[in-house]
C-alpha cells in the first residue's frame, strides 16, 4: 500500500500548511483529503507536489507491504 505519511513531515519541515498547498500549489481540498486517507492520487498531482515542495517522490510517499 502506498502511504503519504512522509508528505506531512516534509511539509512541516518546509513550513508548508495545507492551506498554502491549496492556494499556492493548486491542490484542491478533495485531493488533500485523499492524501490524508492514503487514497489513489494521480501522477500529475504527485508531480505538482514534488515541484512545489522541491523534493523527491520518496520524500512524500512510501510503499508499505500490507
Domain with residue 22: its CATH number is: 1.10.260.40
The domain tally of the chain equals 1
Predicted local distance difference test score (pLDDT) of residue 47: 97
Predicted local distance difference test score (pLDDT) of residue 20: 95
Which residue range(s) make up the domain with 34?
2-63
Predicted local distance difference test score (pLDDT) of residue 66: 83
DSSP state of 57: G
pTM exceeds 0.85, yes or no: yes
pLDDT in tens, 2-42: 999 999 999 999 999 999 999 999 999 999 999 999 999 99
Binning pLDDT at 50, 70 and 90, where does residue 49 land?
very high
Cα dihedral sign for 62, 2, 44, 16? negative
Amino acid at each position: 500500500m502506498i502511504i503519504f505519511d512522509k508528505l506531512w513531515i516534509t511539509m512541516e519541515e518546509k513550513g508548508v500548511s495545507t492551506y498554502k498547498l491549496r492556494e499556492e500549489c493548486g491542490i484542491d481540498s478533495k485531493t488533500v483529503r485523499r492524501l490524508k486517507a492514503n487514497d489513489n492520487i494521480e501522477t500529475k498531482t504527485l508531480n505538482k507536489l514534488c515541484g512545489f515542495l522541491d523534493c523527491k517522490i520518496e520524500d512524500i510517499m512510501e510503499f508499505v507491504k500490507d
